[in-house]
Structure 1
């Protein structure tokens, strides 16, 4: 009758000796491939992405139109190639302050105080070459890219390329958007525009021209047109000294009376009518 004996081996392993008619004793050992498999997989888990990706900055600013949308401060985020996506959704009290902070480049969440925005509304990420992408993550009220809806309600969309100057709309107005919390979010995308927020030759030249106008020619009226720094793009008359002027953060100058309706309509947000640069005047 066959019998088997269990013998403890060093290291806590056990070997089984089976005797069937005069057979030999055999000890089962894992192959070399099986021994190397767990080691290689564990090393991959410890270091899945050994080379850090390139960081690309994206800036999301309000898109100013005649129709009012949800106001918000410009949002700056740094996205890493192959890194986690930027998750866009609704602000809740459970979220940390980092999620809704506008100037928190390392944060991976973007939150808006609007009830037409789903908690997990959309995602933005960057791939190799600095190419940004956007997709709808099963939102109920929809994600629109340049006025085109990406997917139906509660359905995930395919990735869509995102370029500088694109317009993103999160949700649609509820009850006409009479209350601010029920308004959709309209976003203008700015990619690789850091040079606009720094000092450059255009800004320096514009300041020098404004300073030179006030001290040249003794303020003679006949030289007003010749001394003008530029023409106001609203009324097409010269912008010069002894006038109430509005100088935008982008250094473009206008007559204050020409810009006053635009300043009041979206205050504190301002979008230059010449270069389309958004700025928070506060």
Structure 2
């Protein structure tokens, strides 16, 4: 199977998530440029091959959200829309099976200080952090181990590394 292309490359299928890989299989997680969102062929490179901007170096935090349908990775400076509409969310395939997740449900990002954030984008059925519903448009910090729930059905675990 060919590797994923474009922004879908930030999603790992459940069988390839950290700790569930086959011993010979390399980590197939692709990283994206936080500026132009091009898939990086060499995540350790000093600059993006597409936009030529300098890339965050090792030691910079990464936000991972582990959903039942896959793991999302967000780098510093990258904003990732979560929802069912592929035109609005680059990871829509993660949520298409859930009718109660809005087309443009919420946005997650990692700021330069390493703080992870989530904002509800006016979803119909709500965005929840540790069981508490976020008001529309309100930004809430995420911490390692938090539970991020979209509507009633989709719960992910936040990991900051």
TM-score by shorter chain over 0.5:
yes
Equivalent residues of 2:85, 2:104 under 8 A apart: no
Instruction: Report the secondary structure of 2:103's partner residue.
Output: coil
Q: How does 1:198-209 map to 2 (within 5 A)?
A: none
Which residue of 1 is the match for residue 157 of structure 2?
188
TM-score of the two chains, using structure 2 as the length reference: 0.56
Equivalent residues of 2:62, 2:110 under 8 A apart: no
Q: Identify if the C-alpha distance between structure 1 residues 131 and 72 changes in structure 2 by more than 3 Å, giving closer, same or farther.
A: same
Cα offset, 1:189, TM superposition: 0.9
TM-score of the two chains, using structure 1 as the length reference: 0.34
Equivalent residues of 1:164, 1:190 under 8 A apart: yes
Which residue of 2 is the match for residue 76 of structure 1?
72
Give 1:166's match in structure 2, choosing from 130, 146, 156. Answer: 146
Measure the CA separation in 1 of the matches of 2:159 and 2:91.
19
Equivalent residues of 1:56, 1:78 under 8 A apart: no
Q: List alignment gaps of at least 5 residues for structure 2.
A: 1-52
Q: Identify if the C-alpha distance between structure 1 residues 157 and 100 changes in structure 2 by more than 3 Å, giving closer, same or farther.
A: closer
Cα offset, 1:95, TM superposition: 8.1
Query: Quick one: higher RCO (CA 8 Å, sep 6+), 1 or 2?
Result: 2
Alpha-carbon displacement from aligned partner over 1:44-68 (angstroms, at most 9, x marks no partner): xxxxxx6545653222224xxxxxx
Which residue of 2 is the match for residue 216 of structure 1?
none
Measure the CA separation in 2 of the matches of 1:117 and 1:59.
19
The number of residues matched between the two structures is: 108
Which residue of 2 is the match for residue 127 of structure 1?
111
Give the structure with higher Rg (CA).
1
Equivalent residues of 2:145, 2:159 under 8 A apart: yes
Equivalent residues of 1:91, 1:113 under 8 A apart: no
Kindly report structure 1 stretches of 4+ aligned residues shifted beyond 3 Å. 50-56
Q: List alignment gaps of at least 5 residues for structure 1.
A: 1-49, 63-70, 102-109, 173-183, 193-282
Whether 1:59 and 2:64 are equivalent positions in the alignment is yes
Measure the CA separation in 2 of the matches of 1:56 and 1:143.
23
